[in-house]
Structure 1
């Protein structure tokens, strides 16, 4: 991209960039779809570009930061996730979508396992985590938070689901001495 094209690119509104999730993240989505099918899960979320990672509460819509759409945007953003971190984050967000799509959070056995879905999210929860707890899996540690599952029952579910979904995660061996986490898996 020459300087003129680059300057034009910088002044283009995001909505005019013709961003396409399938085109930009196709290999990740294909891999994710295969993992879901291998577990006989047919629900496929709606993916769109937004400001940050997330699954809209009680929907199957997953937001992916728009700067993952083009290399030029990733360069402007600077610090972006590596490929393996992207697929891990997608698994986590799909965990939310599965929970919402099938309304698992309404089930008594879900609540008995993960807790009250309607519990308020704890801000500043890191000061109250138990770093030695073996009741929660550790999945999103690359984001600097090995205790994210302790934030809320919905996050506990999404983290547990992501570990369970991942091929070759070896979760039975990895969590064999963590009876509460293993039971959730």
Structure 2
């Protein structure tokens, strides 16, 4: 007797249900800026931060580090003292907010995969420092310096120095002992890292070897501080995005745009009807890309600050009707010095304001 084959039922492939985008994603920039942080109802679930954080966690586990720092959304990147966790800036929760951040601040810190992973490794170091109270160890202080040292208003890195590792850029390890440790840890944590070869002959190799020894001691250890506190969480922030950006940009504003006119007049001359010279504003605008690269590379200055100060200087050159009378090379060097002085004054004023 022939056996009838049972007809197989073809089932339609399951279609993923698209997550409905929040209504605020369709707002204009002006309307979005009027939204409060707490009303955005943001989450890190499904974001690029969550994906890359899983990779960093795997790296920690592969090194025998059991502790897992917690993440939460806030205004900026930071790991607060005494809390073994990492605050992630709100704009990392949605592409629409990343576009707004780039529009207003000229850059998205952690906006690409490589940069984001580097930041997460760096911040994981701060979280582990808090979790295991590493900065209290005599060896830690001897290797990196006292963590109680005040953060500088602005630091002048030594690009040729071999005392520090290179990780986030702008020679950030040179800014403070805590950042020196975080940068060293981040280099050590990289999978398949060849730090022994890459830093052979560097004084920074001793720091990497210290971190390697220290992390071996922490294998399987439980954290001394394991609270899940969230400092300045976004869900409790009732300010609008407009207020946030107004305050953020205010830190970079010039109180008196004409305060540096005398310095500019020493570099450039006054326009004369008898002689034709290149306008100073035109010259600065032409060399602006070079000046921006130099200023951002020399110290960890926010691009918005660099761009803003350059705009102000170009406008002042135009208002004063200044022209180029010296060689372009000499003038570029002198303008760079003025720009650095202006930004140092802004940062110093900002630090004094928040210290009150």
TM-score range, shorter chain: 0.7 to 0.9
1:21 match: secondary structure? coil
Is the 8 Å Cα contact of residues 22 and 29 (structure 1) preserved in structure 2? no
CA distance in 1, matches of 2:25, 2:112: 27
- Please list every run of 5 or more consecutive structure 2 residues that lacks an aligned counterpart in the other structure: 1-20, 209-356
- Please list every run of 5 or more consecutive structure 1 residues that lacks an aligned counterpart in the other structure: none
Q: TM-score scaled to structure 2, two decimals?
A: 0.47
Residues 31-110 of structure 1 aligned to structure 2 (within 5 Å): 31-78=55-102, 79-80=107-108, 81-110=111-140
Q: Give a deviation string over 1:59-80, Cα, whole Å, max 9, x none.
A: 2121111001011111211232
Structure ranking higher on relative contact order (CA contacts 8 Å, 6+ apart):
2
Residues 93-172 of structure 1 aligned to structure 2 (within 5 Å): 93-126=123-156, 129-141=157-169, 145=170, 147-172=171-196
CA distance in 2, matches of 1:103, 1:54: 17
Q: Give a deviation string over 1:131-160, Cα, whole Å, max 9, x none.
A: 21111001111xxx1x21111110000000
Is the 8 Å Cα contact of residues 25 and 96 (structure 2) preserved in structure 1? no
1:55 match: secondary structure? coil
Is the 8 Å Cα contact of residues 113 and 184 (structure 1) preserved in structure 2? yes
Is the 8 Å Cα contact of residues 167 and 183 (structure 2) preserved in structure 1? yes
CA distance in 1, matches of 2:85, 2:54: 17
- Per the TM alignment, residue 7 of structure 1 is displaced from its structure 2 partner at its CA by 2.0
Residue number in structure 2 paired with 1:23: 46
Is the 8 Å Cα contact of residues 136 and 156 (structure 1) preserved in structure 2? yes
Is the 8 Å Cα contact of residues 71 and 85 (structure 2) preserved in structure 1? yes
Residue number in structure 2 paired with 1:184: 207
CA distance in 2, matches of 1:57, 1:5: 34
CA distance in 2, matches of 1:51, 1:87: 19
Question: What is the alpha-carbon root mean square deviation over aligned residues?
Answer: 2.0
Shift >4 Å, 4+ stretches: none
Which of structures 1 and 2 has the bigger CA Rg? Answer: 2
